């Protein structure tokens, strides 16, 4: 299953980014009508290390579709876009696929008015965030001109947030070269977050494809649980489907069995799976930069015990209950409005059954697996969220979590991952599908060859 895109599709996609930039400038001008001279500035991410795949800053990607490391987007209030890219001693086109250059044809390819170089060359073919004055020289001269003209820089620089660490670091770095630059800054992160939170049709289609890939990965993992001995074997089968689909992991895949299933973020995946245990498989695909995030809990033996089925059914009942009442006007989490807070309602449900709620009921989903979104505001049409209740009982080595992805519509939710089975009987049937039976017969046949005995079926 490989989703490819034609040049036509690429050309259409460019217009999505152009339109987003237009909408951003329109909103900025409406919010700050007294600013006559100003520029939106968004920094792209840098390479971390050759061994770590590059991942572009989500907001930068949302507004450009550009995956070039170290790039900087500048938009004037008339809507003209300039992309600054690092200059390198060695041509990046010799080292990396789809590397950009400061040529007119590349500007047309990505839908900006112009591409310029940031400054003097970075050493080698990579760029890193601790930039020097020389490497940022052209950009700094531009900022110096804006400063002299008493212009405003609209960027992502919230005063109280753990988000946008790179954006804030680079702005502080520029301020070290150009004292007083920070006084030109106006934070527009709430505007960009609001735009990113409400998904358009194009984004929803990409997320559907990410979900479809993740469902296929779960089907493979469910069958692997019965025939595998170690958690990492299930992880390998799950992630193989993602790779074969020309997608990437949205996050480190969790395969947690037995006692490990009671640890919320267990990433080691090195344990032995034992008959009678449950195993949580939590992961997702990224397709064209958009994430899916789906969790299922499987019995290692292929059959739930009576106790496991009892607790599993409770978690499933809670998820279905929350999904049935969630709609615009409800919050994912709001302690001030417990009657309309999905997390509060989930806590109340579990409290009645004497179980604690160890985590929130869900999160926003998009370019980031835990996507931007103001939790102080209620759900709105166009949000994509997860609903992922769980019960964890360490003394029984029993952990259960069920997670699906939902699109918030006008009066309800639509489950994007509904095609993946989750009822107990469906789970058992999935695990004992033809693929697993075929594998079992192969193993038996190999055993016959080894021991030289006949087996009558």
pLDDT at 435 over 70: no
Q: Rg of the chain's alpha carbons, rounded to an integer? A: 25
Task: Check: CB of residue 69 under 8 Å from CB of residue 101.
Answer: no
Residue position matching structure tokens 């074969």: 244
With CA atoms as reference, report the closest residue to 282 among 304, 249, 307.
Answer: 249
Q: What is the mean pLDDT of the chain?
A: 91
First to last CA, the chain: 36
pLDDT category, 5, cuts 50, 70, 90?
very low
Give the domains, in start order, of the chain with CATH numbers.
7-197 (3.40.350.10), 201-439 (3.90.230.10)
Q: What is the pLDDT of residues 406-415, one digit of tens each?
A: 999 999 999 9
- DSSP state for residue 150 in the 8-state scheme: T
pLDDT at 444: 38
Q: Which residues contact 448 (CB under 8 A, 6 or more apart)?
A: 454, 455
Query: In 3-state terms, what secondary structure has residue 386?
Result: strand
pLDDT score recorded for residue 51 = 58
Q: Averaged over 283-288, what is the pLDDT?
A: 97
Give pLDDT, residue 447. 37
- Average pLDDT of span 408-436: 90
pTM: 0.90
Whether residue 384 has pLDDT greater than 80: yes
pLDDT digits (tens, 9 = 90+) for 114-162: 999 999 999 888 888 999 999 999 999 999 999 999 999 999 999 877 8
Asked if the model's pLDDT at residue 363 lies above 80, the reply is yes
The confidence score (pLDDT) of residue 99 equals: 78
């Amino acid at each position: 299953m490989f989703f490819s895109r034609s040049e036509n599709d690429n050309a259409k996609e460019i217009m999505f980014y152009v339109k987003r930039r237009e909408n951003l400038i329109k909103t900025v001008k409406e919010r700050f009508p007294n600013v006559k001279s100003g520029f939106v500035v968004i920094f792209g991410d840098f390479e971390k290390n050759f061994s770590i795949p590059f991942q572009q800053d989500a907001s930068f990607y949302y507004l450009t579709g550009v995956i070039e490391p170290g790039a900087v987007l500048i938009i004037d209030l008339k809507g003209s876009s300039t992309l600054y890219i690092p200059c390198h001693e060695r041509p990046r086109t010799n080292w990396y696929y789809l590397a950009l250059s400061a040529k007119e044809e590349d500007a047309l390819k990505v839908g900006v008015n112009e591409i310029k170089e940031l400054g003097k060359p970075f050493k080698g073919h990579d760029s890193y965030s601790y930039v020097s004055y020389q490497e940022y020289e052209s950009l700094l001269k531009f900022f110096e001109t804006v400063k002299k003209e008493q212009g405003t820089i609209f960027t992502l620089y919230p005063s109280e947030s753990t988000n946008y660490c790179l954006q804030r670091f680079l702005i502080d770095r520029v301020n070290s070269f150009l004292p007083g630059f920070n006084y030109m800054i106006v934070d527009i992160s709430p505007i960009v977050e609001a735009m990113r939170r409400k998904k358009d049709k194009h984004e929803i289609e990409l997320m559907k494809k990410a979900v479809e890939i993740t469902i296929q990965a779960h089907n493979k993992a469910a069958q692997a649980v019965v025939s595998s001995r170690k958690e990492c074997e299930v992880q390998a089968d799950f992630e193989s489907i993602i790779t074969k689909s020309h997608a990437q992991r949205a996050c480190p895949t969790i395969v947690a069995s037995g006692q490990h299933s009671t640890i919320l973020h267990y990433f080691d995946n090195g344990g032995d799976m034992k008959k009678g245990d449950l195993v949580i498989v939590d992961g997702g695909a990224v397709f064209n930069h958009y994430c899916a995030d789906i969790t299922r809990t499987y019995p290692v033996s292929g059959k739930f015990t009576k106790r496991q089925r009892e607790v599993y059914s409770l978690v499933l009942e809670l998820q279905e209950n929350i999904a049935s009442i969630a709609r615009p006007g409800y919050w994912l989490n709001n302690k001030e409005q417990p009657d309309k807070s999905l997390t509060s309602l989930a806590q109340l449900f579990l409290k009645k059954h004497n179980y604690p709620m160890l985590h929130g009921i869900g999160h926003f989903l998009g370019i980031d697996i835990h996507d931007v979104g103001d939790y102080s505001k209620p759900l709105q049409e166009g949000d994509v969220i997860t609903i992922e209740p769980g019960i964890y009982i360490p003394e029984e080595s029993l952990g259960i979590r069920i997670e699906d992805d939902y699109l918030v519509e006008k009066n309800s939710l639509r489950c994007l991952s509904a095609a993946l089975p989750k009822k107990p009987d469906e789970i058992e049937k999935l695990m004992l599908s033809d693929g697993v039976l075929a594998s079992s017969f192969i193993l038996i046949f190999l055993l016959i060859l080894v021991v030289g005995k006949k087996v009558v079926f």
